[in-house]
């Protein structure tokens, strides 16, 4: 059966459209199960009715003409129960519904299974048999369930592709086709899709032996020189928008083109007699397999870079007869795999949004997009890329969604968000230099989370009072090796000087999980529960000591440094870290640097640390809650995974009660506690955190003006009452609605981003989820 299953899935994957896919399913399943009838009914999202879309065994004229209401007949029963129904005599069942135009009165035995994709019922797959004595056995039922599960994604993709043509299942005009992915860079963009296809197909290159290897070597080296010039041109074009450390991403490409890197291996194969194109394909595939086998998210992104370079080299080898792309004034760049080099090919000022089928929020493209302020959605796993070229697209980088060919209403809705965000920002500029104080005098410092120097520039313009979290791993991630002490010192000095005399809290290297270094691979079955954060740096004190030494020297004469330890799960990790920090401090003092011992704190982001706040408080100067990771660990949800991201909710009652406990325990021990994460940047979340007693809130720079405006307009008593009200609730969605309602009644409705915060986004056809 496994061979049959694979064969059917492969055939369906090769179908040109939805109708062909469904025809393959019904014919192949009928044959595999040796049954008389196999049919597929799909649920039309517009009419909410099941439509007979394909059949083998019933009358063909019934296809497209027979439909059932959402809960009508046995088909509706299978869909509503979301489980198989297996009957010896279907006609005897009270929910049986007879359609004479199908001719199904001849068939008594019935087995129907739901087709479900990402919790959404797409339709029902049915087999029927003439004999009433035949009851489909457990093996047959299991086979049909397996077929349904395997094909659900294919059907969803085919259905989405069909919907992109502008027609629903019933043939009616279809609008507002929505696709769900992962938020890569916040913001909303409206523009025209430009699909960037790979410049050349490496997979299609055959192996071929040649005699004139010298000519092949010359051809290949000319291609290398041409691609090098292309990359340098792209980097030069983006230079005005990026800092040197961000432009270093393009150095990654250029280093791969060094003679002793990829070209060297290609030349070896050419000398052995392989033609240039074949040698290139072999080396690129070897590199890609090597990186992807490591199972590391960051290294997977490096495989993307290798593949992109290979395609560019091949395009030049094939003399690059490529059609010149035309970029509209408002371009939304779309690709199966976006790469940094693709961004620079769009003329300056014309790139408004990015959409990528593959990739995560930590890919090179996402890092650059955030630095450039371009709304981005990644991980669009069911999106039919080839259907998006030239279409008007809405990119919702807050929610990780895009909409194709939006209706006038949906376009107006998102245009209003863009206009309101711009107007709101301009209106809040006057608050930049004013303190964040409630109407009854409670002072709440607002800090920012940074990683790149562009974040600092934006933070200062928004009135940040310091850095609550500087992600030191970012300079490590954009390098091809560990940065030297001097290089790290330069990065850190830039941040410390920008905010002096205000505090800058630097988190020590936090790699592992979804953050990895290409030159320091970590391959694990479950990276989020593995070797990450402080566990890595304590196992490698040579990394930790160099970093702390660079931080301390960078603070010379400024003394506004605070050091924060990530992923702490027990007291011994803190004690070992403090021992190393004190050792470096005394060594740096002996070298003649005029520095003070910085305050040292820990991040509370593992559930175990929540219950050790008092013990940890006795050993450090401050605590800071990493609410994003804490939420992921408490709820066991990876928010970068589109399949479970909807379960991630910062307002979950378990998260809120944990945050209350942390604040209370820290203050009982006399230790200041702050929070950095998504919740702090949400106006409603900030109000709750202030009511819990958090001493400072750290957030992305873009969120700061709204949060400051709200806090300056309320009193502490109002916030505490709201907190007490929501702590009695048991649903994250109800809690969020109650908080939003309270803010609206207090006059802050304009600060709630429609859709994500207020639930007002107009409904759209869910082509993919």
Residues known to be catalytic = 364, 676
Instruction: State the sign of the Cα–Cα–Cα–Cα dihedral 283, 284, 287, 293.
Output: negative
Look at strands 401-404 and 177-180 and give their pairing: antiparallel
Q: Calculate the alpha carbon distances from 192 to 157, 373, 423 in Å.
A: 22, 18, 24
Distance CA 65, CA 102 (A): 10
Look at strands 109-117 and 85-87 and give their pairing: antiparallel
Distance CA 339, CA 487 (A): 26
Three-class SS of residue 184? strand
Q: Calculate the alpha carbon distances from 249 to 225, 254, 360, 375, 458 in Å.
A: 19, 9, 17, 19, 21
Q: Which of 193, 201, 314, 309 is nearest to 256 (CA)?
A: 309
Q: Calculate the alpha carbon distances from 6 to 2, 3, 152, 326 in Å.
A: 6, 5, 14, 41
Rounded to the nearest 10°, the torsion over CA 755, 761, 763, 768 is -40
Q: For residues 728 and 683, is the Cβ–Cβ distance under 8 A?
A: no
Preceding amide of 525 cis, omega within 30: no
Distance CA 641, CA 745 (A): 35
Residues recorded for the chain: 769
Distance CA 253, CA 249 (A): 7
How is residue 328 written in tokens?
Answer: 């509209």
Distance CA 541, CA 545 (A): 6
Distance CA 110, CA 627 (A): 51
Consecutive H or E run containing 110: strand 109-117
Q: What is the DSSP letter of 547?
A: H
Look at strands 49-56 and 599-604 and give their pairing: unpaired
């Amino acid at each position: 059966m496994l061979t049959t299953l694979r064969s059917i899935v492969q055939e369906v994957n090769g179908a040109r459209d939805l109708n062909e896919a469904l025809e393959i399913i019904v014919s192949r399943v009928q044959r595999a199960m040796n049954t008389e009838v196999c049919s597929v009914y799909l649920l039309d999202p517009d009419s909410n009715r099941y439509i007979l879309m394909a059949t083998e065994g019933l009358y063909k004229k019934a296809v497209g003409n027979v439909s059932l209401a959402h809960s009508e007949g046995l088909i509706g029963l299978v869909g509503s129960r979301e489980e198989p129904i297996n009957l010896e005599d279907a006609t005897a069942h009270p929910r049986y519904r007879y359609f004479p135009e199908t001719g199904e009165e001849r068939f008594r035995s019935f087995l129907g299974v739901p087709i479900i994709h990402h919790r959404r019922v797409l339709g029902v797959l049915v087999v029927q048999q003439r004999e009433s004595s035949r009851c489909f056995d457990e093996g047959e039922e299991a086979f049909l369930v397996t077929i349904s599960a395997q094909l659900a994604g294919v059907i969803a993709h085919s259905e989405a592709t069909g919907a992109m043509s502008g027609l629903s299942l019933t043939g009616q005009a279809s609008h507002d086709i929505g696709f769900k992915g992962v938020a890569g860079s916040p913001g909303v963009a409206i523009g025209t899709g430009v699909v960037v296809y790979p410049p050349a197909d490496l997979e299609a290159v055959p192996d071929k032996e040649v005699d004139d290897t010298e000519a092949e070597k010359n051809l290949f080296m000319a291609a290398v020189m041409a691609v090098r010039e292309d990359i340098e041109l792209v980097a030069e074009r983006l230079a005005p928008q990026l800092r040197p450390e961000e432009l270093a991403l393009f150095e990654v490409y250029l280093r791969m083109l060094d003679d002793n890197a990829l070209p060297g291996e290609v030349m070896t194969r050419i000398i052995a007699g392989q033609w240039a194109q074949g040698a290139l394909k072999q080396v690129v595939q070897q590199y890609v397999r090597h990186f992807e086998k490591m199972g590391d998210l960051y290294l997977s992104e490096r495989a993307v870079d290798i593949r992109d370079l290979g395609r560019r080299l091949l395009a030049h080898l094939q003399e690059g007869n490529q059609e010149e792309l035309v970029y509209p004034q408002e371009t939304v760049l779309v690709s199966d795999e976006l790469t940094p080099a693709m961004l620079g090919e769009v003329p300056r000022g014309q790139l408004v949004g990015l959409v990528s089928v593959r990739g995560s929020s930590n890919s090179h493209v996402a890092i650059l997009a955030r630095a450039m302020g371009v709304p981005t959605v990644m991980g669009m796993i069911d999106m039919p890329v080839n259907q998006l070229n030239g279409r008007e697209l809405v990119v919702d980088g807050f929610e990780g969604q895009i909409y194709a060919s939006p209706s006038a209403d949906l376009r107006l809705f998102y245009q209003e968000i863009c206009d309101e965000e711009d107007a709101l920002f301009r209106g809040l500029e006057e608050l930049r230099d004013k303190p964040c104080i409630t109407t009854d005098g409670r002072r709440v410092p607002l800090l920012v989370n940074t990683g790149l120097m562009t974040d600092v520039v934006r933070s200062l313009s928004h009135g940040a009072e310091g850095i609550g979290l500087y992600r030191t791993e970012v300079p490590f991630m954009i390098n091809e090796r560990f940065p030297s002490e001097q290089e790290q010192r330069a990065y850190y000095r830039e941040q410390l000087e920008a905010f002096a005399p205000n505090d800058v809290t630097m988190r020590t290297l936090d790699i592992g999980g979804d953050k990895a270094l290409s030159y320091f691979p970590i391959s694990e079955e479950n990276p989020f529960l593995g070797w990450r954060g402080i566990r890595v740096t304590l196992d490698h004190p040579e990394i930790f000591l160099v970093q702390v030494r660079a931080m301390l020297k960078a603070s010379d004469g400024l003394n506004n440094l605070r050091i924060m330890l990530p992923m702490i799960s027990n007291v011994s990790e803190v004690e070992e870290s403090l021992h190393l920090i004190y050792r470096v401090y005394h060594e740096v003092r002996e070298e003649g640097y005029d520095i003070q011992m910085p305050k040292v704190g820990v991040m509370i982001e593992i559930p175990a640390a929540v219950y050790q706040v008092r013990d940890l408080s006795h050993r450090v100067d401050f605590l800071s809650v990493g609410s994003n990771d804490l939420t992921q660990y408490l709820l066991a949800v990876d928010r970068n995974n589109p399949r479970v991201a909807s379960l991630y909710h910062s307002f979950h009652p378990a998260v809120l009660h944990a945050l209350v406990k942390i604040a209370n325990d820290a203050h009982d021990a006399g230790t200041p506690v702050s929070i950095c994460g998504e919740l702090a940047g949400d106006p409603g979340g900030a109000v709750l955190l202030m009511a819990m007693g958090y001493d400072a809130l750290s957030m992305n720079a873009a969120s700061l003006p709204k949060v400051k405006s709200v806090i300056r307009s309320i009193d502490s008593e109002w916030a505490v009452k709201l907190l007490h009200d929501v702590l009695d609730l048991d649903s994250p969605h109800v809690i969020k609605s109650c908080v939003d309602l309270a803010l609206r009644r207090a006059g802050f409705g304009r600060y709630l981003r429609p859709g994500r915060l207020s639930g007002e986004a107009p409904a759209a056809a869910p082509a993919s989820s």
